[in-house]
Amino acid sequence: MSAIAYVTDSKMLELHRLNNHKTMNFWRLSANIGFSDFGEGDLVFFLSKDKEHRKNREKGIVGFGRVKSITAASIRSMWDKYGIYNGYVSLDEFKEAIRKVSKDKKLPAKISAFYLEDVTFFQPVYLSECGMKISSNVESYIYLKPGSVVFSLLDLAEDSRDLWSGLSGNSEAIKREKLLYALLESHDRIKDLPRSEKENKKAKRTLKALKEEGYFFLRNSQSEVCRLGKESADVLFYRGDPNDDRALIGQAQLYKYHLGKYLGNDAPVRFLVNDRDETLEYLMNALL
């Protein structure tokens, strides 16, 4: 999975933070919605110009959100749909902020936006503390190195609580994000078990019915879904044929190996199958 750090209007961030917004419409001047290797489910971290490091002037990261959708529309349409969740109290303020960053100080016909969910704020943390150096002159965005850098960033964020937003479970939200990030990173490395196109379609139909129980497909998966609790997660595999059992046990062990890199050997993840075969689930969750 991917993550970017975006230079963000501090006034906009403060409005979202003080209103304890858990969703926001993160607008961009460009109308282009195409991003290389970045899309729904990925993370946007907020780089603030007002939180520079005292020594190297590196911009501090003060929060993040998960991309739910990416759209392009006129400024008026964005305001009519999202209102204050654009980060301003009035349409005039919204327009003025856009003019301020526009090179010709004119309003474009269209802008684009990431609609973010699970928005979380914290005291400033710095990428240099995570082993990634960035220029103090970054004016737009940078891609973050996947894996250890992003996870280190989330670790630091958990220890850098924002007292205001922390009143509503900020630490719990970051723990949940760390768990989800570890699962998505692990799946990116493992991939689904190889199956025929017919079997994959059947798997997707079967697992889609679990949406009402809180399950969602892991990114790019057709046969694995996940359900998050407050401090734990269930990963459910499609089991279409008993001949898959050994492969499913092996898949669970691979997850444990990769999750261990992020969460340690006691990662709070349970592995299940759609027909809830108790013997198979026991073997998948046993320490082999």
Average pLDDT over residues 140-168: 78
Domains in the chain: boundaries: 3-168, 182-285
Is residue 273 helix, strand or coil?
Answer: strand
The CATH architecture one would assign to domain 3-168 is Roll (2.30)
pLDDT at 11 over 70: yes
Q: What is the pLDDT of residue 163?
A: 61
Burial per residue of 242-278, b for 16 or more beta-carbon CB atoms within 10 angstroms, e otherwise: eebbeebbebbeebbebbeebbeeebebbbbbbeebe
Nearest alpha carbon to residue 225 among 205, 253, 244: 205
Q: What is the pLDDT of residue 242?
A: 83
Local confidence band at 55 (pLDDT 50, 70, 90 cut-offs):
confident
β-pair type (269-273, 233-237): parallel
Q: What is the pLDDT of residue 230?
A: 82
Q: What is the pLDDT of residue 173?
A: 81
What digits encode the pLDDT tens for the residues 80-126? 999 999 999 999 999 999 999 888 888 999 999 999 999 999 999 99
Instruction: Find out whether 233 and 179 touch, Cβ atoms under 8 Å.
Output: yes
What digits encode the pLDDT tens for the residues 247-280? 999 999 999 999 999 898 889 999 999 999 999 9
Q: What is the pLDDT of residue 99?
A: 94
Q: What is the pLDDT of residue 210?
A: 96
Average pLDDT over residues 176-195: 92
For domain 182-285, the CATH class is alpha beta
Local confidence band at 186 (pLDDT 50, 70, 90 cut-offs):
very high
What does pTM read for this prediction?
A: 0.84
CA distance 248 to 244: 6
CA 48-29-113 angle, to 5 degrees, is: 80
Q: Mean pLDDT for the chain?
A: 90
Q: What is the pLDDT of residue 170?
A: 67
Q: What is the pLDDT of residue 165?
A: 57
What digits encode the pLDDT tens for the residues 201-233? 999 999 999 999 999 999 889 999 999 998 899
CA distance 208 to 282: 24
